[in-house]
A and B are shown apart, each in its own frame.
Chain A
Amino acid sequence: MSEPLLRTEGLTRHFKVGRLFAKQALHAVDDVNFEIGRGEIVALVGESGSGKSTIARLLARVYKPTRGEIYFEGRPLSSLRSRKDRLAYCSDIPMVFQDPYSSINPAYRVTHGIRRALRLHRGDLGAARRRQETERVLAEVGLVPSATVAAKFPHELSGGQRQRVGFAQALAFSPKLILADEPVSMLDVSIRIGLLNLMSELREREGVSFLYITHDVASARYIADRVLVMYAGHLVEEGPVEDVIQRPKHPYTQLLLSAVPDPRAPLGLSDAADVGEPPKVVNPQPGCRFRPRCPYAIAECETVTPLLRPLGPGRLAACHVAEADVGEPAA
């Protein structure tokens, strides 16, 4: 098989926490392996604190990995030494942020980020071409008339429009992979779908891949091809999105799916209220991290950290109990 667009190997990131004499390691991301193909939309699903945003920032080189390596088009990131190489990588993998109200500098017109991106990464463009390109990416994300939008300040745009500016900025890099960190979670429900549609359109038109980070499984199903489920720094399940949602293997995925509010589902309060919380993983011991909340936990879960293992075509789950055909939801 040919080399995927992006691949991680044992990606790990720990943060130091605690006081001077009691330094501890917070395991934000532990030993994560995944791939993203060309033109593929991969959803990374998990609760806050599960490490999904840390993964995005590792890929964007905001953080350096504690261990492990990221390969982009076959090339390890640690081999990027010169500023030119690093800039080239930045322009291949831009990021769209969660909060449309804080991700655009309020002191500049909304095109500031786009123009800077063009200047930094496509320096060969002249001023006229830059303006043209700015208007093109704005139009591309549905902000029309783009010349009018380009003259506005961030506070003159609504949240949804700002988030479109975020995508326009990403497009200005002529990227290969866009890291979208919960791009719609702070928007009104009524306009979320428009941005999700925009992401699939951009994939169709520009052939760009997406890593779509979210805690909303339903939206992951709507646009993604494959889904990765994270829990407490571990990747616990992976597979084609429809397959995972119809037949979740990992008990955590099952919990996540049962929590999705769905007015189309029959009424009923049968689901047990799970009052557990995802743990902060500080100096962890071996064992399954979901064990305290898991209804199926067995003795082995206490001592042996489950590894991802294949459970069907394209399916992987890190669970001692999960089997190829067991653990399906009752519904």
Chain B
Amino acid sequence: MTLPSVADSVEPVGATVGSGPPGESTRRRAGADVFRSLTRNRKALVGLGLLLGFAVLALIPGQIAPDDPRAKVYPRGLGPSLHHLFGTTAYGEDVFSQLVWGTRQSLLIAVLVGGLATLIAVLVGVSAGYLGGTSDGILSLITDVILVIPIFPLIIVIAAYERNSGFLTLVIVLGVLGWSYGARQLRSQTLSLRRRDFLEAARVRGERKSYIIVNEILPTMTSLIVASFLGAAVYAVLFAAGLQFIGLGDPNSQSWGTMLYWAQNNEALGAGMPYWAIMPGVCVALLGAAFALVNYAFDEISNPALRLRRLEHKGAQELPSAPPAQVAADTENLLQVRGLTVAYASDAGPVVAVDNVDLDLKRGEFLGIVGESGCGKSTLLYAIARLLGAPLAGEITSGQVLFKGRDMVSLTDKQLRHIRWREYSVVMQSAMNALNPVLTVEAQMRDALEAHSDMTKREMRERSKEALRLVSIDPVHLLSYPHQLSGGMRQRAMIAMALLFTPDLIIMDEPTSALDVVAQRSLMMQIKELQERLGFAVIFVTHDMSLVSHFSDRLLVMYAAQVAEYGKTRQLFDHPLHPYTQGLLEAFPSIRGEKVRLTGIPGQPPDLLRPPSGCRFAARCPLANERCTAAPPLYEVDGELVRCVLYEREREAVAAT
């Protein structure tokens, strides 16, 4: 799974920047917002509407169906009519009244069984997950046993044995047997929470175990608990109806299942009383569907990744801001990006994460892209590699990406497959996430080679060995699984995979950020050495400018989706032009020279949902003045590009952006 890492770096744009007025930011978990989301979700509306309808039927059946459902006073076996909406039964009862009065029991069973099963699931699942060790072993064993028991036959046996005890027994039997699935989910969720720092923080604070389980763990699992309740409710409705249908339970009770039982006994379908048999089934299906719909809706709301958003295109936006100058495919530039703009769809409208970016990359060049998280650097990278798409909902809205003369933006997936990996490859941020944990290094390399070439098995093996040797990993590790490699080796293995076809361009997204300084340094040296030997070009994204200082040829500094400064690395470090670049360079302490007090860059980047109309850095800029209220274009100064009005007088703007 590599995509969530992009989502992380993009999300702060709308979700975590707290500078906007409260209530306008896209909050997720607060109760009021869950409610608002529920009212906007179509599944939730239909599901809740149905539930509400059934609840009304269950609460006031007498008002809706004034007839006594048990009164056998009508002509037998009537067809539907105005007075008997669904006809009458073979015993002369009104089918509609029976349906209405039967709602109460089905709904009660759903709620009671759901509640009981969820209670047991929470107790067992959370305790097992949090306590671990032997307690976990025993509780999980019980859960698994119940999970694999064929429940339906078992319930039939129990219900047959307890034939005359009726409703309460049914609830208890269904509840006691129906919790295991929920418990499994809650346990694994608790396991993943157990190592979260906020629980450790609670332990360090001196909280008791019981407090941690009830007050720290449970509230974070609300959505799972709700899902578990709704799931158990669906199960209860279906099972109860099934049991009553086959004649188990009290045959005199008022419920849909019992109706089915009597209808079946009287062969209602064949005897001209179809609604007697059909309508209870429809009701069971509708109630089940209602719970399931609410469940899905809740899942979608608490887990935004499941929602597919589409960018809304407004007519005016379609007009390209600048006519895409027909760039001649020149041989010197491997990659030319022109006016690239990428937007994400969000609940509050489109977020432009990359705004009109131009860049050139020569063959064998090392380009560093630096900026804060959320500035769009990863999005730019993904747009160039054409990796945007579901579930990210990012879209290139305008611009060109010319790679070796071809416009990547217009290539189809099939055309892309031919050049991906062979001509350009991507190295992700976290190798542990990007590598498949259940496959050996060799298997993963073979997958890549098979997908993009027609080598023989033997050739593939040789090529894999060769690639590992390139990054100083002993080829014996072909048979290793990712977890058997150290963090540094995993990143090297990723780079080896990127090198399988000796591409012209390798795109790297913070490949060293998870590593320690020493491992980081040695990986950087390795990349540089390979680059000089094999001659590929590199685009290297990082938030740590000092990291690339000795390795990149040119640097592109991004701020709030735009290019802030773009020029030769050395020149940029020696004479940074943009106040943001100057701030970045002053932001980290050194181990050399005088110890001076640094200030960093106070404040935070603007919300890209509503970027300021003027200079985007002005709010944090120590040199900001009244001229910064107009959006500055890029100025050319000594061969560098800089977006700041300080340089207005020096040079003409290069592009009217």
Contacts and interface: CB of A to CB of B under 8 A. Distances in A.
Interface of A: 47-48, 60-62, 86-87, 90-91, 94-95, 97-99, 102-108, 113, 116-117, 120-121, 148, 151-153, 155-161, 169, 188-194, 196-197, 215-219, 221-222, 242, 245, 255-265, 267-269, 271, 273-275, 277
Interface in B157-176: none
A263 B206 contact: no
A106 B220 contact: yes
Given A256-B517, A274-B518, A117 B593 contact: no
A62 B200 contact: yes
Interface in B461-507: 472, 486-489
Interface string B194-229: 001110111111110000000010011010000000
A60 B207 contact: no
B486 A97 contact: no
Given A190-B600, A274-B518, A156 B592 contact: no
Contacts, number: 207
A113 B198 CA distance: 9
B550 A95 contact: no
Contact of A193 (B516, B589, B595): B589
A268 B601 CA distance: 29
B216 A191 contact: no
A161 B18 contact: yes
Contacts of B546: 189, 261-263
Given A47-B518, A260-B517, A98 B201 contact: no
Nearest to A87: B206
A156 B33 CA distance: 13
Contact of B27 (A148, A156, A169, A221): A156
29 contacts: A47-B516, A47-B518, A61-B204, A103-B198, A104-B198, A105-B220, A113-B198, A113-B205, A120-B206, A148-B22, A156-B15, A156-B22, A156-B27, A157-B18, A158-B604, A169-B201, A188-B372, A190-B372, A190-B600, A191-B604, A192-B588, A194-B599, A217-B591, A221-B589, A221-B595, A259-B521, A259-B522, A261-B521, A269-B525
Interface stretch (B40-48, B400-408, B579-587, B648-656): B579-587
Contacts of A105: 198, 202, 216, 219-220
A217 B518 CA distance: 11
A256 B219 CA distance: 43
A261 B220 contact: no
Given A256-B518, A271-B525, A158 B18 contact: yes
A277 B205 contact: no
Q: Which residue, of A99, A262, A271, has the highest number of chain B Cβ atoms within 10 A? A: A262
A218 B204 contact: no
Contact of A62 (B204, B524, B595): B204
Contacts of A271: 521, 525
Interface in B539-586: 543-547, 549-550, 570, 573, 583-585
A316 B22 CA distance: 53
B106 to A, nearest CB: 33
Interface in B9-44: 12, 15-18, 22, 25, 27-30
A222 B595 contact: yes
Contacts of A160: 604
A155 B27 contact: yes
Contacts of B220: 105-107
A86 B205 CA distance: 10
B119 interface: no
Given A156-B16, A158-B18, A98 B197 contact: yes
Contact of B547 (A90, A159, A219, A261): A261
Contacts of B200: 62, 97, 103
Contacts of A261: 517, 520-521, 524, 544, 546-547, 549-550
A273 B18 contact: no
B209 to A, nearest CB: 12
Nearest to A195: B600
Contact of B600 (A47, A94, A151, A193): A193
B279 to A, nearest CB: 43
Contacts of A262: 546, 549, 590-592
Interface of B: 12, 15-18, 22, 25, 27-30, 196-198, 200-207, 216, 219-220, 222, 372-373, 472, 486-489, 516-522, 524-526, 528-529, 543-547, 549-550, 570, 573, 583-585, 587-593, 595, 597-602, 604
A216 B513 CA distance: 13
Given A62-B200, A155-B28, A275-B472, 6 more contacts: A87-B206, A107-B222, A117-B205, A153-B27, A160-B604, A273-B526
Contacts of A106: 29, 198, 220
Contacts of A257: 591
A43 B204 CA distance: 21
B590 A264 contact: yes
Given A47-B516, A271-B521, A194 B197 contact: no
A103 B522 CA distance: 31
Contacts of A61: 204
Nearest to B602: A194
Contact of A97 (B201, B207, B488, B599): B201
Nearest to A96: B201
B583 to A, nearest CB: 7
B219 A108 contact: yes
Contacts of A190: 372, 583-584, 587, 600-601
A116 B203 CA distance: 12
Contacts of B601: 190-191
B204 A273 contact: no
A104 B220 CA distance: 11
B589 A219 contact: yes
Contacts of A196: 589
B618 to A, nearest CB: 16
A97 B197 contact: yes
B24 to A, nearest CB: 11
Contact of B587 (A156, A189, A216, A273): A189
Nearest to A99: B197
Contacts of B373: 159, 188
B486 A107 contact: no
A94 B204 contact: yes
Ranked nearest first, the 9 interchain pairs of A and B with the lowest CB-CB distance are A263-B549, A193-B600, A107-B219, A103-B197, A222-B589, A259-B521, A90-B206, A273-B525, A47-B516
Contacts of B202: 105, 116
Contacts of B521: 258-259, 261, 271, 273-274
B517 A259 contact: yes
A158 B429 CA distance: 20
Contacts of A217: 517, 591
Contacts of A275: 472, 488, 522, 526
A221 B591 CA distance: 7
A158 B13 CA distance: 10
Contacts of B203: 62
